[in-house]
Structure 1
Amino acid sequence: MLCYHHIVMDGISLRTFLGDLNQSYISPGVSQPASQYLDYAIAEREQLKGQAIKDDLECWKEQFETPVDCLPLLPFSRVQSRPFLSISESFTAHAFIKKETVARVKECSRQSGSTSFHFYAAALQVLFFQLLNSSNIHVRGPRAL
């Protein structure tokens, strides 16, 4: 008998749990448990204490000792200047890419040892270079361990 509170486990979680339980019964030996988010958080905290991160931060502080200028408006902008915003709001735009194009991007990314995210970020940076005629463009993404 298995008892649990509905907040603790939903249908998908139960399926995952039962699959893991079944795997442990049929597997020849005991395997190490999968990493949990807490393990990731501990590793990240330890990394932030190390010298490598201090060296990385120092490098970026040197790179951006002088603040980067705001990007100029794109040529097709409907406004002549950026108004000062007193509140921060977000906007989400959706675009759809053909499956064939997505497959080609994934393959190109795989061949270059990167991810689709890197491909799209590079494409965005190239677009900015061409539209804004500037070489001082920085596209930043999240940092991974």
Structure 2
Amino acid sequence: MHHIVSDGWSVGVLLRDLEAAYDGRELPGLAVQYADYAAWQRDWLSGDVLEEQLAYWREALQGAPPALDLPTDRPRPAVPSHRGTQLAAVLDADVVSRLAGVARERGATLFGVVQSVLSAVLSRRAGQDDLVIGVPVANRSR
């Protein structure tokens, strides 16, 4: 499943419910539906709050490069196709252990350390000091 469909938290819920269904247990009714959450979000993100959020991100991203200029084996197409591929790689357990140690020493998460390494590699390969990396987050309060 793509992360836009589910995240680590919701996959756990899905697996718990599937297990209950396979065991023949009845699932309890949901107190809150996704449509409720969407309505709360839409109500919150309007008016002054929407303008504040937009102003924040416009200022934070002002001057950000429009694209990462990585060296490629082909020129970038004039119209993006959004076609791509994946490169699977397995990190050596010792490397992961050392990265986790760096995270502990710095009071950071392993994710934060790996993202920092990614930023440094991309910056060096592109020859750009400024780059933007987007990270989807669940950010749920319910």
1:73 maps to 2:70: yes
- Over the aligned positions, Cα root-mean-square deviation in angstroms equals 4.1
Residue 125 of structure 2: aligned partner = 131
Residue 121 of structure 1: aligned partner = 115
User: How do 1:1-145 residues align onto structure 2 when only pairs under 5 Å count?
Assistant: 12-13=19-20, 48=45, 55-66=52-63, 68-74=65-71, 77-79=72-74, 81-85=75-79, 87-145=81-139
Matched-pair contact (CA < 8 Å) for 2:64–2:131? no
Deviations along 1:85-116, whole A, 9 cap, x unmatched? 46432311101111121122223223433322
Distance 1:124 1:63 in 2: 21
Deviations along 1:53-84, whole A, 9 cap, x unmatched? 8645422211224563322232xx222x2123
Aligned length: 122
Q: Equivalent pairs: percent with the same residue?
A: 20
Unaligned runs of 5+ in 2: 1-15, 26-31
Residue 3 of structure 1: aligned partner = none
The structure with the largest alpha-carbon Rg is 1
Q: TM-score, normalised by structure 2?
A: 0.56
Unaligned runs of 5+ in 1: 1-8, 19-35
Higher-RCO chain (CA-CA 8 Å, sequence separation at least 6): 2
Distance 1:63 1:117 in 2: 22
Report how far residue 123 of structure 1 moved.
Answer: 0.7
